[in-house]
Amino acid sequence: MVQQTIQIFGRIKPTGKPSAVFSVDNEDPTGASLDFLLPRDLSDGFVNNKRESYKFRFKKVFDQHAKQEDIFENIARPVADSVLAGFNGAIFAYGQTGSGKTFTITGGAERYADRGIIPRTLSYLFERFSQDSSTVYTMHISYLEIYNELGYDLLDPRHEASRLEDLPKVLIMEDADQNIHLRNLSLQQAANEEEALNLLFLGDTNRMIAETPLNQASTRSHCIFTVHLCRREPGSATLQRSKLHLVDLAGSDRVSKTGLNGVLLTEAKYINLSLHFLEQVILALSERSRSHIPYRNSMLTSVLRDSLGGNCMTTMIATLAVDKRNLDESISTCRFAQRVALIKNEAILNEELDPVLLIAHLKEEILTLKKQLATMMGEQKDEQLTADEMLKLEELIEAFLNDPDPDGTLSLGPAMRKVQHSFSYFKRKILEKQTERHQCSQQPPAATRREDVYFPHMSPVDVNSLKEMLQQRDNEISILVKMLKKEKKRADDAVVQLSRITDCQKLSSQSLPNYSTVPGFGDGMADTLSLNRGGQASSESLTGEENMELGEDVSTLSKLTGQVASMCPLSQQLKSTPPQSRDGNVKGHQEDQRVKVYTFQESHEGNMNQLSLNHGGQVLLYMKKGSQLSAGKQEAFEIFIKDHEEQQIIEDHKQLIKKRSAEARTLSEQLNQVRNTIAELRKQLQMRRRQSAAQSVEVNHPPGEKFDPVEEDLCEQIRREKIVYKSAIGRLKALSTEIEHLQLLLERVKVKIQKDFQKWWTQEASSLQGWEPGATAGFHTRPSSSGTPGLCKEFPDTSLDRRSSSAQHARSAVSSYMCSCVSISKST
């Protein structure tokens, strides 16, 4: 429990005419003070008593130059921190109309830097959530307006369409424990900063447009923006719930000074009545002897009950307009603040238990206890273990053996059968290990094995892996040669087709064959083809499509030729060149992986003495690299996907994602425009209302009694824009979901192709070499990755990723819209 008096801050609104009648002292370590000096000739009836100077104590007073950021850092951040820690918090602004309450709590519309406490606090909270990944936070928001003692939900979707008077009223209910509940007040979840800011934007817009000329509710109502936080450690049954009220009170102007009548007087009475009740509550709280606190007298005090003298860390900001004509109001605001400063609150950590999680935990505990009891009582199940049970048990044992934690335990439950099976499993394992060791010792003595002579630091297992890898490289070469033949045949066919076309047009074409102008023909390949076909074709006679097709075939052929050409010398050397003649080559190509294989192969063949110690390290290095995909296999993969039946699906998805992403981009631009329009209309509306108020003062006519068509038109425009805004947001969300779904499908196709390739590759390898796929599993499909998503890591993702890049564009379009939302709402 934290005991704390309500913290009082003062904020002075910038004024055009600097007035020398006040001074601020923030230097005193015990707190700040604000002094007003009223020379006798100035006490002309505005101030009733004849005192000349007034001194008020505050925790800190922010003078006219204080920035919104300073206000947030000094006032709101500590409250937000305690709300994050599980305590309730409240900040309320009190002061006369026009003294800067709304500016302080919500902020000004002009500049981004003018953002008030609400948007800054929302940003801060979400930033803190993201830093604390070990805790799950959920945020809900409610926005309540109290006008003439009645509550309205500013986030109610009907708010915009109806007059304030026709809306369902928010009702106060009290439970048996005297907890307050508000019926008809919606709680909206905000999953991120944008959503929370969006709710603030919608609530503020609703607040403005529900105002009619007859009720200028914005300055005559109280607004309570509440953030409801729920915090939970994953797996824990304990929840922490805390609330943060950010309150913009109605103007504290006194009725006698405002000279109002009719409806406005009623309103002023209500406002003053509710502020009067607030004052009564505060007075009662500051007198220790009082046992009854009249919270129930008004809606405002009922809602803020916890924040006043209860379980809450509360802060008040007294906003002050210090020009001479407002001095008496400022002094009365300060007096109110002094009384508030006496109130002591007791904030407690709001922890509760989640019954569902608690039940789950208790059930688990009961089960464990039952098992323990059964073991203690010597109860045993006699029936044999089923095959399935044995399999599961063995998995458990393996997990236990592989667990690096020395304190890890193996929980078997009370079944003796399981204990016995576990012991026989362990025995089997130990015997296997012993046999292995025995076989190793049966091999020729270490000194007589070549590998051990030349790589004394390498284990037999390492040497075997290298041998295997060498075998696999040979296979790769064979597969590539096979593919090369196939591609060459395709190219030949294409050229035959080409010559047929040109034969038909030969008479009209006299130009010499020139393959190099066909797109996709590399220089070398063009020469090869010219030779092959005896220079019969002319690229000029080809249609665009034929050009493309032919080009693709030949370029694939060219790639393969390059690939195989670069590998062939190796394969030939491996098989035919006598070891003694190759020593020189090795040193010159130490950086080339393939040469490193050669190095090993050569050593393996018998001439290992010069290489063994120097190159042992490199061989090991290569062995590690070798587990990745080789260039040859990558090349084969590129060609494989080109012919794959799912290729068309990928293309279709890509196109659709592109289309949706473009749509999302247009939509987000449109949304930004609508937001700007609404912000602009809101500004105009505010201006218009101020003008009407000024005019009514001039003609001594109560404001708002005349219907203003311009104002009504502005409200109507805002309403229309809001409908567009809402439907666009809905569409954007749907688009985002669709894009994500398409992306998922694309990923699935990608995995399928990779698996198909793997299957095909293994088949090819075994058919070429008569090689058992099982023997190659160590390289081609790493056991850990086979059939699992981890498999994908082994494959060149480039070509497939290229296809899904448009999906990434789409996602980034949606997220960039969401970011722009933040900046727009930040600027409004």
Residues of the shown chain interacting with ligand ADP in the complex, contacts defined by CB under 6 A? 13-14, 95, 97-103, 108, 219, 251, 319
Residue 100: name its binding partner from ligand ADP, Mg ion, none (Cβ under 5 to 8 Å by kind): ligand ADP
Interface residue list for Mg ion (CB under 5 A): 101-102
Contact 128, 139 (CB under 8 A): no
Q: 18 or 534: whose CB is closer to ligand ADP?
A: 18
CA distance 637 to 235: 44
Residue 103: name its binding partner from ligand ADP, Mg ion, none (Cβ under 5 to 8 Å by kind): ligand ADP
Q: How far is the CB of 93 from ligand ADP (least distance, A)?
A: 7
Q: 95 or 626: whose CB is closer to ligand ADP?
A: 95
CA distance 792 to 3: 58
Q: How far is the CB of 824 from Mg ion (least distance, A)?
A: 22
Contact 227, 105 (CB under 8 A): no
Taking phi first (over 0 means left), then psi (-120 to 50 degrees means alpha), and beta for anything else, what does residue 215 get? beta
Question: Shortest Cβ contact with Mg ion: which residue?
Answer: 102
Q: 102 or 502: whose CB is closer to Mg ion?
A: 102
**Cα–Cα nearest to 400, from 418, 414, 384:** 418
What residues are paired with 153 via a beta bridge?
144
Contact 317, 11 (CB under 8 A): yes
Q: How far is the CB of 216 from ligand ADP (least distance, A)?
A: 11
Provide the annotated binding site.
95-102
Q: 219 or 539: whose CB is closer to ligand ADP?
A: 219
Residue 95: name its binding partner from Mg ion, ligand ADP, none (Cβ under 5 to 8 Å by kind): ligand ADP
What is the chain's length? 828
Q: How far is the CB of 159 from Mg ion (least distance, A)?
A: 18
Provide the annotated binding site for ATP.
95-102
Q: How far is the CB of 321 from Mg ion (least distance, A)?
A: 12
The DSSP output letter for 413 is -
* CB-based contacts of 167, cutoff 8 Å, min separation 6: 152, 153, 156, 158, 159, 210
Residue 717: name its binding partner from ligand ADP, Mg ion, none (Cβ under 5 to 8 Å by kind): none
Question: Shortest Cβ contact with ligand ADP: which residue?
Answer: 100
CB neighbours (10 Å) of residue 754? 22
Q: 100 or 414: whose CB is closer to ligand ADP?
A: 100
* CB-based contacts of 322, cutoff 8 Å, min separation 6: 12, 13, 15, 19, 21, 22, 330
Handedness of CA 661, 667, 671, 672 (dihedral sign): positive
Q: How far is the CB of 251 from ligand ADP (least distance, A)?
A: 6
Residue 97: name its binding partner from ligand ADP, Mg ion, none (Cβ under 5 to 8 Å by kind): ligand ADP
Q: How far is the CB of 326 from ligand ADP (least distance, A)?
A: 11
Q: How far is the CB of 161 from Mg ion (least distance, A)?
A: 24
Half-sphere exposure of 42 (CA within 13 A, CB side): 16
Taking phi first (over 0 means left), then psi (-120 to 50 degrees means alpha), and beta for anything else, what does residue 491 get? alpha
Half-sphere exposure of 502 (CA within 13 A, CB side): 24
Q: 101 or 633: whose CB is closer to Mg ion?
A: 101
Residue 98: name its binding partner from Mg ion, ligand ADP, none (Cβ under 5 to 8 Å by kind): ligand ADP
Residue 151: name its binding partner from ligand ADP, Mg ion, none (Cβ under 5 to 8 Å by kind): none
Residue type for position 664: A
What residues are paired with 146 via a beta bridge?
151, 222
- 467-476 b/e (C-beta count within 10 Å ≥ 16 → b): ebbbbbbbbb
Token pair of 77, please?
A: 């951040």
543 three-state secondary structure: coil
Q: 101 or 473: whose CB is closer to Mg ion?
A: 101
**Cα–Cα nearest to 314, from 284, 345, 336:** 345
445, 451, 456, 457 alpha-carbon torsion, rounded to 10°: -120
Q: 98 or 213: whose CB is closer to ligand ADP?
A: 98
Q: How far is the CB of 20 from ligand ADP (least distance, A)?
A: 20
Token pair of 600, please?
A: 């090993």
Q: How far is the CB of 69 from Mg ion (least distance, A)?
A: 21
Q: 104 or 242: whose CB is closer to ligand ADP?
A: 104
Q: 88 or 102: whose CB is closer to Mg ion?
A: 102
Residue 530: name its binding partner from Mg ion, ligand ADP, none (Cβ under 5 to 8 Å by kind): none
Contact 186, 211 (CB under 8 A): no
CA distance 349 to 312: 10
